[in-house]
Structure 1
Amino acid sequence: MGLNVVNLVGRVGTEPDVKYFESGSVKCRLTLAVNRPTKDDQPDWFNLELWGKTAEIAANYVRKGSLIGVKGSLKLDQWADRATGAPRSSPVVVVDKLDLLGSKKDTEAHAGQIRETASEF
């Protein structure tokens, strides 16, 4: 018997990268910064992968800087480096459950900041 459960709470570091497949599946990738209480206060960064309805929710409601909580499992993406052929790997959290932790007011304020920044250009 094994146990592979990851619970994280942090701020989204990138805008959601959403892909729609011909099969009807939806995939969303994003990064999550989770603060670690250390002297230098540097966050730990995690790559997240969401599928289906959870991916659609992330695409519609999650933006860079959003506070979210996720529950999922850890998988290891493996591939061969194109240039050298050396094996490479990267840990990815496959998200089963997504919780939007920011308030509606926070989301609206974030959207307003984006509009103001865009109008400056």
Structure 2
Amino acid sequence: MLNRVILIGRLTKDPELRYTPSGVAVTQFTLAVDRQFTAQGGEREADFIPIVTWRQLAETCANYLRKGRLTAVEGRIQVRNYENNEGKRVYVTEIIADNVRFLESSNREGGSGGNSSATREESSYGGEGRGNQVSRSNNNNNQDPFSDDGKPIDISDDDLPF
């Protein structure tokens, strides 16, 4: 059996970070994914797909993703259900992400507050169940890690893995 999904789209709003009663971080956001065909009026249609991330991946997404940002998500489809206040059974289909890639860098220094095109991927973080979670120091959360791109980096031969 196989349940894998890979999506590329843009966030419809900033991610919502919450914590479970036991203190586990969970982030929810919606990804707008263009369809490959156009409607009769020539306009492109999109699917709006709910995404859920957990633990360190959730905190990373909440810190770095913003509305309109081009993002790739890899995960699995999950269908859950619950009974609402009116006693009706409600079914929710969502993607549980275990890998999120930020495909655009944000232009924080430019003052526009929006996104700019990038020629490289900014970051890739693994998540739940894959054993490749990333730990980041919290003192650099407000700085663009690629703001010094193009300047020489001081690396000794001892730092290289080969």
Measured against the shorter chain, the TM-score band is 0.7 to 0.9
Cα distance in 1 for partners of 2:27, 2:16 equals 5
Q: TM-score, normalised by structure 2?
A: 0.63
Quick one: structure 1 residues 50 and 68, their matched pair in 2 at CA, closer, same or farther if it must change by over 3 Å?
same
**Where do 5+ consecutive residues of structure 1 fail to align?**
116-121
Secondary structure in 2 matching 1:65 = coil
Q: Looking at CA atoms only, which structure, 1 or 2, has the larger radius of gyration?
A: 2
Quick one: structure 1 residues 110 and 96, their matched pair in 2 at CA, closer, same or farther if it must change by over 3 Å?
farther
Structure with greater proportional helix content: 1
> Sequence identity of aligned pairs in percent?
29
- Bigger RCO (CA 8 Å, 6+ sep): 1
Quick one: which amino acid aligns to residue 97 of structure 1? N
Q: TM-score, normalised by structure 1?
A: 0.82
Matches within 5 A, 1:27-38: 27-38=26-37
Asked if 1:61 corresponds to 2:60, the answer is: no
Q: CA RMSD in A?
A: 2.0
Give CA-to-partner distance per residue, 1:19-64, whole Å, 9 cap, x none.
1235331100000000002222110110000001111110110000
Structure with greater proportional strand content: 1
Runs of at least 4 residues of structure 1 off by over 4 A? none
Matches within 5 A, 1:74-113: 74-83=77-86, 85-102=87-104, 104=105, 107-108=106-107, 112-113=111-112
Give CA-to-partner distance per residue, 1:47-89, whole Å, 9 cap, x none.
0000011111101100000010010001012011312x12110
Quick one: structure 1 residues 54 and 90, their matched pair in 2 at CA, closer, same or farther if it must change by over 3 Å?
same
User: How much does 1:111 deviate?
Assistant: 7.7
Contact 2:107/2:113 (8 A) holds in 1: no
Count of residues in Structure 1 that have an aligned counterpart in Structure 2: 110
